[in-house]
Amino acid sequence: MLTNAPRGTKDVLPDQIHKWHYIEEKFDSLCERYGFREVRTPVFEHTELFKRGVGDTTDIVQKEMYTFNDLGNRSITLRPEGTSPVVRAFTEHKEFANPQPTKYYYNIQCCRYEKPQAGRLREFHQFGVESFGSSNMMADAEIISMAYDFINELGIKDVELQINSVGCPHCRQKHRDALKAFLKPKYDKLCKTCQDRFDTNPMRILDCKSPEDQKLIQGAPMMLDYLCDECADAFEQLKANLDAMKIEYVVNPKIVRGLDYYTKTAFEFVTTTIGAQGTVCGGGRYDGLVEQIGGPATPGVGWGMGKERILLTMEACGCEFPEPKATDVFIAFMGDEAKAVALGLVADLRRKGLSVAMDVVGRNIKNQFKLANRVNAKKTVVIGENEIKENKFTIKDMATSEQTEVAMEELAEVLMK
């Protein structure tokens, strides 16, 4: 028990961390190019924020949150998603008073009490972006383009962008009525989750993963056929903007973000390479959300992308990761006097910016060389009594076995070359 991590969590060990660093650096650079700036919010928030911001009828709020009372008896929830905290920060710090849009990105972990399986964890990691202050479909196209570029830059193939519109509170009501009328005779055959959604959030029944339910909803009324003029026009503009940016997509009328304050654009990037949990990125427009949380009415659009799923997809597609960084120099030593010289040299070289390794366990010289191989050192230097006495040190290039003899004063300079 003590030596097992909680169910649904995963350690990332140092031999895998270069993959995480790689995608994180790529993401930072992507966001910089698009003019998005990083925001960091707390790992926990008042429970009420998520109830309001995610919605009382959602799976997240109903059964997936890590909620507890802290010692001051406040109800606290570990962040299950990234949008609500960013909306809270945007409002709290009056960022709406600046010229809009405000474009944020974040790199966070989220906690949801879900059933763990491949691509589904209880603590998972997300990249996310949010763009506030524009109702123009250019903002939607801009963030979709970011996800599209990112996926391509990572070398991921077989991912499809699927787009839809979920309309607005005005046109959604008509669709909701039609959908409920269509589903009513089939109610008894729907899965338990969908039965629960029938009254609270019927649109979500459309994206139920159960094959039986998928059969039942064949021929169901789709939101796209119920859009009001404004929403229909926005969807046409979105498609035109994506075309102009040479972004390929398919329209999938079953993609939903089924909450009142989600409006118009909904989209997902989906892959078939990693099994059932194939949505690597999901997002959409949420024009009612800032106001819902207590800020001034402000349009917004954003997405979240699961890092574990991105990494799984990259591995499934055989994407290349850069090799972990090698050690520049290994300093070996023999004897106490040499140890002091070696310690001084190592400290000096590290301060000058080289990546330097030495044994700190007390290995004999033979085992120090083994260690040099293990840390993949490009060069080694041996320090012994003779070398110190004659002020002659040999730098050995581990790839070519070439040896160069230099004095202590020149060592750093030669190694830095």
Query: Could you list the residues that contact ligand ATP (CB under 6 A)?
Result: 81, 112, 114, 119-121, 124, 126, 277, 279-282, 304-306, 308-309
| Between 85 and 119, CB nearer to ligand ATP | 119
Q: What one-character DSSP code corresponds to residue 3?
A: T
User: What angle is formed at CA 86 by the lines to CA 85 and CA 88, rounded to 5 degrees?
Assistant: 65
Least Cβ distance, residue 81 to ligand ATP (angstroms): 5
Least Cβ distance, residue 386 to ligand ATP (angstroms): 58
Least Cβ distance, residue 93 to ligand ATP (angstroms): 24
User: Could you tell me the sign of the dihedral formed by the alpha carbons of 30, 33, 35, 38, in that order?
Assistant: positive
| Between 157 and 374, CB nearer to ligand ATP | 157
| Between 127 and 330, CB nearer to ligand ATP | 127
| Between 273 and 376, CB nearer to ligand ATP | 273
The distance from CA 358 to its chain's CA centroid, rounded to whole angstroms, is 36
Is the distance from CB of 89 to CB of 288 less than 8 angstroms?
no
Least Cβ distance, residue 335 to ligand ATP (angstroms): 53
Distance CA 356, CA 249 (A): 48
Structure token digits, residue 336: 């106490």
| Between 277 and 404, CB nearer to ligand ATP | 277
Least Cβ distance, residue 347 to ligand ATP (angstroms): 42
Q: Residue with CB nearest ligand ATP? A: 306
Least Cβ distance, residue 333 to ligand ATP (angstroms): 47
Is the distance from CB of 221 to CB of 178 less than 8 angstroms?
yes
Distance CA 392, CA 373 (A): 23
Q: What one-character DSSP code corresponds to residue 184?
A: G
| Between 61 and 382, CB nearer to ligand ATP | 61
Least Cβ distance, residue 262 to ligand ATP (angstroms): 11
- Strand 263-271 relative to strand 250-251, pairing: unpaired
109 forms bridges with which residues in the sheet? 125
Least Cβ distance, residue 349 to ligand ATP (angstroms): 42
Burial of residue 105 (CB within 10 Å: 0-12, 13-18, 19+) is: buried
H/E segment holding residue 248: none
The Cβ-side half-sphere exposure at 247, using a 13 Å CA radius, reads 28
Least Cβ distance, residue 194 to ligand ATP (angstroms): 15
Is the distance from CB of 234 to CB of 264 less than 8 angstroms?
yes
Q: In the 3-class helix/strand/coil scheme, how is 15-75 assigned residue by residue?
A: CCHHHHHHHHHHHHHHHHHCCCEECCCCCEEEHHHHHHHHCCCCHHHHHHCCEEECCCCCE
Query: How long, in residues, is the chain?
Result: 417
Is the distance from CB of 287 to CB of 168 less than 8 angstroms?
yes
| Between 281 and 329, CB nearer to ligand ATP | 281
Distance CA 95, CA 118 (A): 38
| Between 119 and 202, CB nearer to ligand ATP | 119
Least Cβ distance, residue 140 to ligand ATP (angstroms): 16
Distance CA 244, CA 331 (A): 57
User: Could you tell me the sign of the dihedral formed by the alpha carbons of 211, 212, 218, 224, in that order?
Assistant: negative
Rounded to whole angstroms, what are the CA distances from 389 to 52, 172, 291? Answer: 74, 86, 76
Least Cβ distance, residue 119 to ligand ATP (angstroms): 6
| Between 115 and 366, CB nearer to ligand ATP | 115
Is the distance from CB of 340 to CB of 326 less than 8 angstroms?
no
